[in-house]
Amino acid sequence: MFLLKLCLIINSFFMTEASVPRPRGVSITMASFYTGQAENFSCLDNSLVVPFNYVNDDYCDCPDGSDEPGTAACINGKFHCTNAGYIPNYIPSSRVNDGFCDCCDGTDEFSEIISCPNKCIELGKKAMEERMKVHKMQMEGFAKKQEFINEGKKAKEEKKSKLIELEALKIAAEQHKTEMEAEKNSAEGPEKLAKDTHENAWEEEKKKLQKEKEITIAKDAFTELDSDGNQLVSVDELKSHSEFDIDSDGTVSDDEAKEYMEEATDASYDHFVEKMWPNIKEIYRKPKKLEDEVSQQEEETTTPSSAQVTPSPPSETPQDDDDGADEDSDEDADEDDEPTPEESVDGQVQAPSSPGSHFGDLDDEDDEEEEKSDTDYDRDFEETVPLPTEDEAKKKTEEGKDKETQPQMPDYDQETKSLIEAADQARSKYHDADKKVRELEKDISDVKKILDLDLGPDNEFYSLYGKCFEYTDREYTYSFCPFDRASQRSKSGGIETSLGHWGHWDGVAPDIYKSQKYDKGQNCWNGPDRSVKVHFDCGIDSELRGASEPSRCEYAFSFVTPASCAKPTPSPTTNRDEL
């Protein structure tokens, strides 16, 4: 049926062409300028009038070449190919009778040099089939576009309804949050008062314990320094401690010892505690044995109940002579004779050594050696940091021990625990209410984001939102997520490179919906940020069909979708003569 209709159209066209007399190379629309003139022909630019028999005489008379439409005489002349059954067109007159077939109907070669077959019917048939194919695609695409429009309109109405619902839920959630905040504040008041009362009482108790501890330490120091047991600390007794060597010459002189005596020749216990101890407590070093005994006593005061008991002063440390020359040997002997945890001293069973005991110190020293070794290794690659001195290291170790042996605050009473539990529950409820409000705010923001998007005059591009499409060439895989982003990644692997983020519609008015711009992509080295222009065309399905880089860091995507299909024109039937 189609071919029969096509043949009838072509025959009708031939009859029309034949019924209009005109010179060779003249189109039907221009025939009136070449007929009805009895004797003369007026050049089409009105520059000259020549005898009519000068038309197509193979000599150019008119400046505009209009007197030779069917020959090659005029360099600026144009020859009209009728091409009945196909597409009429003009060719330069210089191509007439040049031995090449330019018109599909062969009318440009009328000499005997070459014979041109008429291919217009065959070409017209193929062109008609192609036009019908495109027309069919446009019809199907436009039908899908109507589905997209209906889907977009429906989704837009649903989003509007959803927004109203979410905003109502948010109002209720904010009211609930306000109520939970009031409950939280109400529960936190008694909790804070009870905790503050407990903690303030503990601070007072801790100060008391600390004062008792200070007194005990000072008393132990006085006892240790009073080597002759006469309840007085003398200059000679201070001289036995090397830490009082002010000028570091290896000997504690009388003057150096007197610096710490605070105008006393022999310091009593009261004078020592009030005057001397505040000045020497930072530099005074206990002998090893006394240090271990004090550590054990500190362990016993780590709980409030045991801390209430004032520890008894340690036994005096005997000195063999006044100048302290054999101090090191005495300490070695003490260390060698120190009883094991199972042995007893003075008839009393000793508990195993705690982390603050002498054995704990050895472990700490091993740990410090390991840490120091690791640090030294790291310093090969980092800035050199000076190692701490022996006194600094010892002070740091003692500070660590002090933290470990600090008395711990007792647990809250049951009433305070109940208040804390009630406040925790109120805080948890408030947190849940606040979380719900934030979730609703995010949902509202997401819905508004979609509603604010320009998804086409009829919301037809809504079907593309939230989807991604890919196209792969020989080197890269390109990804396109409409209204979101564009990117590329190498087929051989590696990270994804951002080519741009959604910017705006970028088509030429009045049809701005023919292209989109994506910008602010990853920066090109020594160049601009990457960007993409996406060109939209009609297609039965939505797909990314091509990607290129016309300019450095500026990409172009070719994308087809039913959303870009315009309403098709009536079905093509015939070719029309062109001017």
The whole-number pLDDT of residue 391 equals 63
Kindly state whether residue 194 falls inside one of the protein's structural domains.
no
The whole-number pLDDT of residue 38 equals 66
Final residue of a domain: which of 98, 117, 136? 117
The whole-number pLDDT of residue 284 equals 87
Cβ atoms of residues 123 and 86 within 8 Å:
yes
The whole-number pLDDT of residue 327 equals 42
**What mean pLDDT, rounded, does the chain reach?**
80
Number of H helices, E strands in the chain: 12, 16
Within 10 angstroms of residue 346's Cβ, the number of other Cβ atoms is 6
Distance between CA atoms of 475 and 460, rounded to whole angstroms? 33
Query: Residue 547's domain spans which residues?
Result: 462-564
Q: Name the least confident of 23-27, 87-91, 570-574.
A: 570-574
The amino acid that residue 257 corresponds to is A
Q: Is the pLDDT of residue 147 over 90?
A: yes
Coil, strand or helix: which one is 458?
coil
Which one of 202-206, 337-341, 385-389 scores highest in mean pLDDT? 202-206
Residue 25 is given by DSSP the state T
Overall number of domains in the chain: 2
Q: Is the pLDDT of residue 381 over 60?
A: no
The token pair at 288 is 């090893």
The whole-number pLDDT of residue 390 equals 66
Give, in degrees to the nearest 5, the angle at Cα 136 between 130 and 138: 105
Within 10 angstroms of residue 522's Cβ, the number of other Cβ atoms is 16
Kindly state whether residue 469 falls inside one of the protein's structural domains.
yes
Over residues 451-474, mean pLDDT: 95
pLDDT digits (tens, 9 = 90+) for 44-59: 999 999 998 899 999 9
Final residue of a domain: which of 71, 94, 117? 117
Name the more confident of 499 and 570: 499
Kindly state whether residue 244 falls inside one of the protein's structural domains.
no
The token pair at 168 is 């109502």
Q: Name the least confident of 251-260, 262-271, 366-375, 400-409.
A: 366-375
Please give the share of the chain, as a percent, with pLDDT higher than 70.
74
Burial of 370 (0-12, 13-18, 19+ CB in 10 A): exposed
pLDDT digits (tens, 9 = 90+) for 259-274: 888 878 888 888 888 8
Q: Is the pLDDT of residue 295 over 70?
A: no
The token pair at 196 is 């503050």
Q: Is the pLDDT of residue 496 over 90?
A: yes
The whole-number pLDDT of residue 362 equals 38
Within 10 angstroms of residue 474's Cβ, the number of other Cβ atoms is 5
Residue with tokens 């088509």: 507
Q: Which of 339, 375, 331, 380 is nearest to 357 (CA)?
A: 339
pTM for this entry = 0.56
Kindly state whether residue 538 falls inside one of the protein's structural domains.
yes
Kindly state whether residue 376 falls inside one of the protein's structural domains.
no
Q: Is the pLDDT of residue 322 over 70?
A: no
Over residues 8-22, mean pLDDT: 50
Q: Which of 402, 574, 564, 397 is nearest to 13 (CA)?
A: 574
Q: How confident is the model at residue 236 (pLDDT cuts 50, 70, 90)?
A: confident
Kindly state whether residue 382 falls inside one of the protein's structural domains.
no
Q: Which of 314, 324, 181 is nearest to 242 (CA)?
A: 324
Final residue of a domain: which of 86, 117, 148? 117
Q: Is the pLDDT of residue 355 over 60?
A: no
CA distances from 305 to 84, 209, 212, 302, 461 (A): 117, 11, 14, 9, 77
pLDDT digits (tens, 9 = 90+) for 551-575: 999 999 999 999 999 988 876 654 4
Distance between CA atoms of 491 and 2, rounded to whole angstroms? 47
CATH number at residue 540: 2.70.130.10
Please give the share of the chain, as a percent, with pLDDT higher than 90.
49
Q: Is the pLDDT of residue 176 over 90?
A: yes
Kindly state whether residue 522 falls inside one of the protein's structural domains.
yes
Find residue 535's DSSP bridge partners.
515, 558
Distance between CA atoms of 192 and 179, rounded to whole angstroms? 20
Kindly state whether residue 432 falls inside one of the protein's structural domains.
no
Q: Is the pLDDT of residue 197 over 90?
A: yes
Q: What CA dihedral angle connects 17, 19, 20 and 21, to 10 degrees?
A: 110
Q: How confident is the model at residue 143 (pLDDT cuts 50, 70, 90)?
A: very high
Q: What CA dihedral angle connects 536, 540, 541 and 545, to 10 degrees?
A: -50
